């Protein structure tokens, strides 16, 4: 005898949604009856309990069709996994796998699971897994599971990474070339700085602001640019060779360039167009 094919996920989900709609309508009718006081209390209690059982079966069915494991409830008299043990497993996992910047402080907190939930004791150490973690922290979801007996659930929490970032020490207009005096350190929660941040002042010093910053505003590296050392049409110095064979001559820049950029230049003596590397303000090395 050929075994019947199991229902598809699509059909199972459709059944689950239809059952949910029926359950909602049933609940509304129960609420209306309670208001009208037309049903005897004992009959009403039976109907409410039956409705609750349907909701539990519906939830388990949805989890099953989505391929998710369901919690195993402890029997009366059995020990149960405590909420603290679940939170500790999730917290230890996050602290072990997150790559926090040097000198930063990591704080992990989770919302405790429902106190009414009781889970069978786990015969092996609890396992935890976070699908996605940002080095800067932020909201997270961690799956805590037991291999034997098999069950799992998700805990929602937040990881806060606090570190010193660099902010404007005074009002800074656009085009300012940053120096150490323009910056000061301040403790911030990193995941709240969506525009970006710098953990080292050296990554900002010498760069030019693309926008203005008011005092105390976090200076993001992407709001800065390397200073332009060579500008189109301006006279520059061309350098060729090294040591005693070094030759310097006058030229004109044909493109803008910052440090180590390759630019096109014109040799004023020969009128030849060459390529060179920007090595300093107004200076281009050719023949490199």
Instruction: Please answer whether residues 83 and 119 qualify as being in contact, where contact means their C-beta atoms are separated by less than 8 angstroms.
Output: no
- Provide the 10 A C-beta neighbour count for residue 113: 19
Question: What DSSP string runs through 227-271?
Answer: PP-B-TT-EEEEEES-GGG-EEEEEEESS-B-TT-EEEEEETTT-
**Nearest residue to 146 (alpha-carbon basis) of 130, 163, 124, 129:** 124
Residue indicated by tokens 């390529």: 275
Return d(Cα 43, Cα 260) in angstroms, integer.
84
Domains 163-225 and 235-286 share a fold: no
CATH class of 163-225: alpha beta
Return d(Cα 29, Cα 16) in angstroms, integer.
20
pLDDT tens sequence for the chain (288 residues): 444 444 554 555 555 556 656 665 665 565 555 444 444 444 555 555 565 555 555 544 454 444 444 444 444 445 578 889 999 999 999 999 999 988 899 999 999 888 777 788 898 999 999 988 888 999 999 999 999 899 999 999 999 999 999 999 999 999 999 999 999 999 999 999 999 999 999 999 999 999 999 999 999 999 999 888 999 999 999 998 877 778 889 999 999 998 889 999 999 988 899 999 999 999 999 985
Q: Is the pTM of this model over 0.75?
A: no
> Topology of domain 235-286, per CATH?
SH3 type barrels. (2.30.30)
For residue 133, what pLDDT is reported? 87
For residue 202, what pLDDT is reported? 92
Instruction: Please answer whether residues 124 and 186 qualify as being in contact, where contact means their C-beta atoms are separated by less than 8 angstroms.
Output: no
For residue 37, what pLDDT is reported? 45
For residue 241, what pLDDT is reported? 80
For residue 112, what pLDDT is reported? 85
What sign does the CA torsion over 239, 241, 247, 249 have?
negative
For residue 24, what pLDDT is reported? 54
- Residue ranges of the domains in the chain? 9-65, 83-159, 163-225, 235-286
Contacts of 11 (CB under 8 A, 6+ apart): none
């Amino acid at each position: 005898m050929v075994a019947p094919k199991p229902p598809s996920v699509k059909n199972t989900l459709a059944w689950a949604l239809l059952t949910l709609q029926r359950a909602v309508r049933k609940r509304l009718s129960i609420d209306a009856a309670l208001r009208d006081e037309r049903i005897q209390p004992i009959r009403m209690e039976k109907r409410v309990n039956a409705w609750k059982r349907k909701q539990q079966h519906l939830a388990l069915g949805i989890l099953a069709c989505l391929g998710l494991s369901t919690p195993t409830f402890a029997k009366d008299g059995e020990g149960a996994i405590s909420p603290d043990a679940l939170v500790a497993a999730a917290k230890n996992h996050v602290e072990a796998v997150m790559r926090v910047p040097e000198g930063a402080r990591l704080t992990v907190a989770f919302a405790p699971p429902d106190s009414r939930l009781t889970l069978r004791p786990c015969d092996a150490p609890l396992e935890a897994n976070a699908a996605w973690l940002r080095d800067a922290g932020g909201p997270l979801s961690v799956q805590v599971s037991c291999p034997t007996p098999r069950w799992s659930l998700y805990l929602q929490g937040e990881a806060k990474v606090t570190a010193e970032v660099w902010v404007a020490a005074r009002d800074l207009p656009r085009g300012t070339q940053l120096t150490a005096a323009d910056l000061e350190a301040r403790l911030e929660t990193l995941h709240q700085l969506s525009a970006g941040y710098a953990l080292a002042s050296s990554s900002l010093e010498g760069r030019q602001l693309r926008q203005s910053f008011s005092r105390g505003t976090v200076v993001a590296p992407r709001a800065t640019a390397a200073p332009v050392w060579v500008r189109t049409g301006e006279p520059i110095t061309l350098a060729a060779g090294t040591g005693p064979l070094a030759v310097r001559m006058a030229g004109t820049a044909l493109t803008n360039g910052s440090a180590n950029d390759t630019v096109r230049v014109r040799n004023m003596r020969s009128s030849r167009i060459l390529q060179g590397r920007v090595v300093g303000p107004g200076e281009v090395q050719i023949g490199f």
